[in-house]
């Protein structure tokens, strides 16, 4: 009798471990799979589109590049208004970048890696000093902000993820304000 009780105990224990392991695998599998889908306002899950992934990649890489270029300009520039603008961009783009990162993680998008082209730009900008840096920075920010605004307008109008559309719509006024500010700086340089 004692032998049967012990065998049942071991069998039950083994069955319990097996069941627990399967349950853990199922939960982890579900968690992983659910990360690839975005939840819309109706509670239904939708697959993250390639357009939304492209927006995340472009917006993240562009934001990181503008932050790094702005840090260089804030440290090595000479004009106080250019340095103040650069510092403002570091703060604003840093905040927007964190928000986009949180949304991306929630939607299951892997964070993009910095592009080699951007790393080369950082090196070139780091070598510039004084007025040359100020001029190059202002010209670059005018060009970048025009492109970024077009990217965000497109996402706000035709993005697939509601969260990314809302993020783009909410961020557009800040980007337009930056463009207005940097255009004023460019006008002073003429």
Cα-based distances in Å from 70 to 7, 11, 67, 151: 70, 65, 5, 20
For residues 11 and 32, give the distance between their C-alpha atoms in angstroms, rounded to a whole number: 31
The 10s digit of each residue's pLDDT in 145-158 is 999 999 999 999 99
Is the per-residue pLDDT at 135 higher than 80?
yes
* Whether pLDDT at 42 is above 80: no
Q: What pLDDT is stored for residue 108 in this prediction?
A: 87
Mean pLDDT of 125-134: 92
Residue located via tokens 């403002």: 88
Residue 188 binned pLDDT confidence (cut-offs 50, 70, 90): confident
CA dist., res. 16 & res. 34, Å (int):
27
Where helices occur in 35-129 by DSSP H, the ranges are 50-76, 80-107, 116-127
Q: How confident is the model at residue 38 (pLDDT cuts 50, 70, 90)?
A: very low
């Amino acid at each position: 009798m004692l032998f049967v009780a012990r065998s049942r105990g071991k069998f039950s224990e083994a069955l319990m471990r097996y069941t627990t392991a399967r349950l853990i695998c199922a939960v982890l599998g579900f968690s992983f799979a659910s990360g690839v889908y975005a939840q819309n306002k109706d509670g239904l899950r939708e697959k993250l589109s390639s357009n939304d992934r492209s927006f995340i990649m472009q917006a993240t890489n562009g934001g990181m590049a503008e932050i790094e270029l702005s840090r260089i300009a804030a440290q090595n520039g000479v004009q106080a208004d250019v340095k103040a603008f650069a510092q403002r961009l570091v703060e604003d783009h840093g905040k927007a970048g964190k928000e986009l990162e949180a949304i991306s993680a929630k939607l299951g998008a892997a964070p993009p890696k910095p592009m080699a082209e951007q790393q080369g730009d950082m090196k070139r900008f780091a070598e510039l000093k004084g007025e040359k840096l100020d001029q190059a920075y202002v010209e670059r920010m005018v060009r970048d902000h025009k492109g970024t605004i077009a990217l965000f307008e497109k996402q706000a109008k035709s993005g697939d993820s509601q969260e990314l559309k809302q993020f783009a719509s909410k961020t557009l006024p800040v980007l337009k304000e930056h463009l207005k500010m940097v255009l004023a700086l460019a006008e002073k340089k003429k």
